[in-house]
A and B are shown apart, each in its own frame.
Chain A
């Protein structure tokens, strides 16, 4: 379980650090926050090579849900751009 704890700490630390940095730099777009969060979550999951296949399969639905959220944000941004025109 040590590897699980390290994985959770890595993801949590990265996400929270990026939230602080984005807020400090004056970012107000929630889509940007979310995009950075999911990129970090995906990257850390891939970097943890030694997670066993059962764990990767369990994390797959979470990745799918995050991806669906990203596609929804993308769709809303495209809609916003078209309405602005």
Chain B
């Protein structure tokens, strides 16, 4: 019995038993607390039946399969092309409408000067120099951002609220976040992360899924490219440090 059925069946059971209990308590036994208990069960049953209509219909195992398949394909491309640069997370204003990640093919140490919208291709010319060529890929962050109704604001409180809403309310993969700005760095702490970190070689270039989502949201909120400088588990929290490109905040 999976998500939706579990809520639906439990809710229906509570509704039925609550109805019987409250009627018995009111009409037969005339016991107020028994009737109140039946009413409480009716309220909980109604809430559970309402929730059953909103839980995802795809099982977590299928979601995990889809995620792993996508990440393995990106890892294969990165390995074949010999990419050794970190991904630059770009806001949608710099791409064709969705925030994506640019993987520079050349390890020349500088972030390309992206002065125009990049075309929606896999291999793109990202800057004026001849070797400013990279792969423009969609990441976990790209897909997660599509679940939001509105673009987050640039302030730390607005970004914190949007990221917590996405990770906790929509995806259910963390409890909450704390965000702080310091110079050109953005530090994001994620409480109680529930995504397992896998030893995937590509993650050192595009980041783990949580870092990818955080970087995408930050790039979109600030309207500037960001790079994942550091990420890791620190005392029960997942900490991601992002470097904002193109000046201070």
Q: What is the distance, in angstroms, from A46's C-beta to the closest C-beta of chain B?
A: 14
* Chain B, 147-167, CB within 8 A of any chain A CB: 149, 164-165
Q: Which residues of A lie under 8 Å from residue B55 when comparing CB positions?
A: 1, 4
Q: Which residues of A lie under 8 Å from residue B133 when comparing CB positions?
A: none
Q: In the assembly, what is the distance between CA of A66 and CA of B44, in Å?
A: 11
Q: In the assembly, what is the distance between CA of A77 and CA of B134, in Å?
A: 73
Q: In the assembly, what is the distance between CA of A56 and CA of B175, in Å?
A: 19
Binary per-residue interface labels of chain B (25-65) against chain A in the complex, 1 for a CB within 8 Å, 0 otherwise: 01000001101110110011011101101111000000000
Q: Which residues of A lie under 8 Å from residue B149 when comparing CB positions?
A: 53
* Chain B, 204-224, CB within 8 A of any chain A CB: none
Number of interface residues of B (CB under 8 A): 29
* Chain B, 114-164, CB within 8 A of any chain A CB: 149, 164
Q: What is the distance, in angstroms, from B189's C-beta to the closest C-beta of chain A?
A: 17
Number of interface residues of A (CB under 8 A): 35
Residue B184 at the A interface, CB < 8 A? no
Q: What is the distance, in angstroms, from B31's C-beta to the closest C-beta of chain A?
A: 10
Taking a contact as CB atoms closer than 8 A, the residue among B40, B50, B169, B172 that contacts A61 in the complex is B50
Nearest CB in chain B to that of A55: its residue:
B54
* Chain A, 8-50, CB within 8 A of any chain B CB: 8, 11-12, 15-16, 19, 22-23, 27-30, 33-34, 37-38, 41, 49-50
Q: In the assembly, what is the distance between CA of A11 and CA of B165, in Å?
A: 20
Q: Are A19 and B36 interface neighbours, CB within 8 A?
A: yes
Q: Which residues of A lie under 8 Å from residue B77 when comparing CB positions?
A: none
- Contact of A58 with B39 at beta-carbon distance under 8 Å, contacts A2-B172, A50-B168 already known: no
Q: Are A19 and B40 interface neighbours, CB within 8 A?
A: yes
Q: Which residues of A lie under 8 Å from residue B36 when comparing CB positions?
A: 19, 22-23, 30, 33-34, 37
Q: What is the distance, in angstroms, from B65's C-beta to the closest C-beta of chain A?
A: 18
The 3 A-B pairs with the shortest beta carbon distances in the complex, nearest first, are: A50-B169, A33-B36, A23-B33
28 A-B contact pairs sorted by A residue (CB < 8 Å): A2-B194, A3-B168, A3-B169, A8-B48, A8-B51, A15-B43, A15-B44, A19-B36, A19-B37, A19-B40, A30-B35, A33-B35, A34-B39, A37-B39, A37-B43, A41-B47, A50-B164, A50-B165, A52-B54, A55-B54, A58-B51, A59-B50, A59-B51, A61-B50, A62-B46, A65-B46, A66-B43, A66-B46
B residues near A (Cβ < 8 Å) are 3, 7, 26, 32-33, 35-37, 39-40, 43-44, 46-48, 50-51, 53-56, 149, 164-165, 168-170, 172, 194
A residues near B (Cβ < 8 Å) are 1-4, 7-8, 11-12, 15-16, 19, 22-23, 27-30, 33-34, 37-38, 41, 49-55, 58-59, 61-62, 65-66
Extra contacts, 12 of them, besides A2-B168, A15-B44, A19-B36 (Cβ < 8 A), are A4-B51, A12-B44, A16-B40, A23-B32, A23-B36, A30-B26, A30-B35, A41-B43, A58-B51, A59-B50, A62-B46, A62-B47
